[in-house]
Amino acid sequence: MKIRNTIHLVASLSVLAAATGCGQSDAPAARAAAEAAGEAAVAIDAVASAEATASNPLLAEWAGPYGGVPAFDKMKVEDFKSALEAGMAEQLAEIDVIADNPEPPTFDNTILELERAGATLGRVFAYWGVTSSNLSSPAFRDVQQEMAPRLSEFFSKINQNEKLFARVKAVHDSDAVKQMRPDQQRLVRLVYDGFARNGATLDGAAKARYADINKRLAELHTTFANNVLHDEESYVTYLSADDLGGLSQAFIDAAATAASDRGREGEYAILNTRSSMDPFLTFSTERDLREKVWRTYYDRGDNGDEFDNNAIIAEILKLRDERVGLLGYETYADWRLEDRMAKTPERAMDLMMAVWPAAIGRVAEEVADMQAIVDAEGGDFEIAPWDYRFYSEKVRKAKYDLDSDEVKQYLQLDNLREGLFYVAGELFGFAFEPVEEGSVPVFHPDVKVWEVTDRQTGEHVGLWYLDPFARAGKRSGAWATSYRSHETFDGKKTPLGSNNSNFVKAADGEPVLVSYDDAETLFHEFGHALHYLSSNVAYPTLNGGVRDYTEFQSQLLERWLLTDEVIDRFLVHYRTGEPIPDALVAKIKAAKTFNQGFQTTEYLASAIIDMKLHTADPKGLDPDAFERRELEKLGMPSAVVMRHRTPHFGHAFSGEGYSAGYYGYMWADVLTSDAAEAFAEAPGGLYDDGVAEKLVTYLFAPRNSIDPAEAYLKFRGSEPSIAPLMRDRGFPIPAGVESGGQ
């Protein structure tokens, strides 16, 4: 869904969600960019000065090869305000033409014209999203804070245009819809729902209040995200040479480089990001420093200072509840899930609570194993959250003789990237070739670009950008973004997609080695990129997605990391070039269900609290107290913390992309596990040509042109079951679900 389809963006745009363990932002350019702007909605000064915008590079048509590419090398913070003003003014004029058309409303003169509207603003938002997520600065955040409410007003003005909605409703209610192609019928419904679910049916004071709420939420979402980014940038733990016990030389070298880059030559920097925190907590023998790094990371947004997010969360929850109340919904979660696969908060909670007992039961077993090691070593303490990764690694070595640092020696970033390309070639028929340096503008020297082609016909498919390394101003986590989505209704436009990570740069001349979890995340995010690149839809809006479904495609791609074909070709030792030994691969596979208690519990705790926050009465709600109270009710193990504590839960509060929707990763994982069994049952396994063809045809290429439940049924031939998910995680299968659906 491009920005020109602003009707559907109105209460769903958010700052690029991260995700993540993932993070994921899988939305196309418009969604990703407007998400970075903050919650969408509307108005501006209707006229932007021609003199101020005539030479603004952010407004220009994209020129160059491949159907035109963003001029990332020409981005300047000072150009954003005038570019946004000009783009909004232009789109409002386009909307007026559609709304004031004296001809009777039709699919062509109303729905398709809405698909065309806002092209200029869409280009601006591609730059806006990149700057917000990859290159943020204090100067940009000032512009972001100023423009977020104005963008909100702008989108609300479109969404609440009564004449425009009347035309959309007339098309939606007409008999002509029955004669349209299925994808056109879906487009009409999505456009109509985008209005109806976001205030278009309101009148008078209620409509005005709805717009005011959106405007305030845009400010709050932006402030929330910037507060988290402030804490990530500001709280760096610097170590001396005496503090490096247990750390690998590669990690030490990378930490030295990070410190040097920050003017602290001779020291070692542990950044306040998951990619830096996680390996430190796994290998550092300094327990006091582990606690310090842990607290620094998990206290983001919760430091009781001007960047504390608790009051912001409380206000967001009250405003969201009031807004959906205007539309007649009982809770925010009811509104949010109505157009998702889950449909209701109850169904989402049922899934999570079916898995929760097995997850915390496994945590108890994992903690017992770790505590036994602590006691045997004479440690006079109980396992705390900052100990979990460290002693879990010891258990892993003891149970499986598996050393995570040994595994890293075979996980070179460059080789993993080539592994991604191999899988894309085998399943999707794509070939990747690096573009000539300088032929496609990039926004940072670290960014590289590849052309994607059909390897049989040589036809151009799109471009893939990779921005792999952490830097100041870049949000943490890993995510995928689309700068331009596929469409054919006004001439073919090919997709431009990217993957973004936060790996710590290696010392000069050394390869970047990543953890196994990070390697899986790399495959995961590439799944989002393949979803963009494989699109065959005609209309921009149909490139959108259903949030609890769009993670399925990416989670599924993780399965190819440990296939023999990838192992044999790309998992080689970074010094010797020798392939990873079969014995080590066997240990990795044997340990696949290891630590599933921790991984599932930390994720589910965040997802359950997200849902509970959005179904609770928000009056007088204290986010910190609510979090503690609800986790206690759940029996949250004391040695585990939420993956995303509420004060830095960007998925839920830096926008609305995953609000009341973080459960979607598990919902999608039910589909993932079930689909993986479809491959396992096929003669060719994960590379079976027939299943791969169905995968692309029904689950990747259609994007949102087919209802996800219908698409999955066409692929699998049956409804998915939770049983494969439980088997994958090594959990007991709850009674009665073996043959049931979700």
Active-site residue list: 525
Type of residue found at 643: R
Other Cβ atoms closer than 10 A to 445: 6
In the block, which residue shows the tokens 């170590």? 239
Distances from the Cα of 100 to the Cα of 97, 111, 365, 712, angstroms: 5, 14, 67, 41
DSSP 8-state secondary structure symbol assigned to residue 493? B
CA triple 637-639-644, angle to 5 deg: 85
Instruction: Please choose, from the candidates 651, 466, 465, the residue with its C-alpha nearest in 3D space to the C-alpha of residue 25.
Output: 651
Q: Is 462 helix (H, G, I), strand (E, B) or coil?
A: strand
CA distance 598 to 520: 17
Instruction: Please choose, from the candidates 607, 24, 550, 21, the residue with its C-alpha nearest in 3D space to the C-alpha of residue 359.
Output: 607
In the block, which residue shows the tokens 């009674």? 735
Instruction: Please choose, from the candidates 408, 413, 419, 509, the residue with its C-alpha nearest in 3D space to the C-alpha of residue 468.
Output: 413
Chain centroid to Cα 270, Å, comes to 24
In the block, which residue shows the tokens 């879906």? 186
CA distance 699 to 702: 7
Contacts of 368 (CB under 8 A, 6+ apart): none
Instruction: Please choose, from the candidates 657, 429, 440, the residue with its C-alpha nearest in 3D space to the C-alpha of residue 533.
Output: 429
CA distance 95 to 636: 51
CA distance 163 to 200: 10
Please check whether residue 661 is in contact with residue 547, taking contact to mean a CB–CB distance below 8 angstroms: yes
CA distance 159 to 118: 14
CA distance 115 to 8: 11
Rounded to whole angstroms, the maximal C-alpha distance in the chain is 84
The stretches of 327-465 forming alpha helices (DSSP H) are 332-337, 345-376, 385-400, 404-408, 413-428
CA distance 49 to 53: 6
Q: Which residues of 574-599 are buried (b: 16+ CB within 10 A; e: fewer)?
A: beeeebbeeebbebbeebeebbbbbb
CA triple 71-74-77, angle to 5 deg: 120
Beta strand 448-454 pairing with 460-469: antiparallel
Instruction: Please choose, from the candidates 275, 243, 271, the residue with its C-alpha nearest in 3D space to the C-alpha of residue 257.
Output: 271
Contacts of 55 (CB under 8 A, 6+ apart): none
Contacts of 231 (CB under 8 A, 6+ apart): 272, 299, 300, 301, 303, 307, 648
Instruction: Please choose, from the candidates 458, 464, 399, the residue with its C-alpha nearest in 3D space to the C-alpha of residue 435.
Output: 464
CA triple 144-305-19, angle to 5 deg: 55
Q: Which residues pair with 493 in a beta bridge?
A: 487
CA triple 224-225-228, angle to 5 deg: 90
In the block, which residue shows the tokens 């386009």? 94
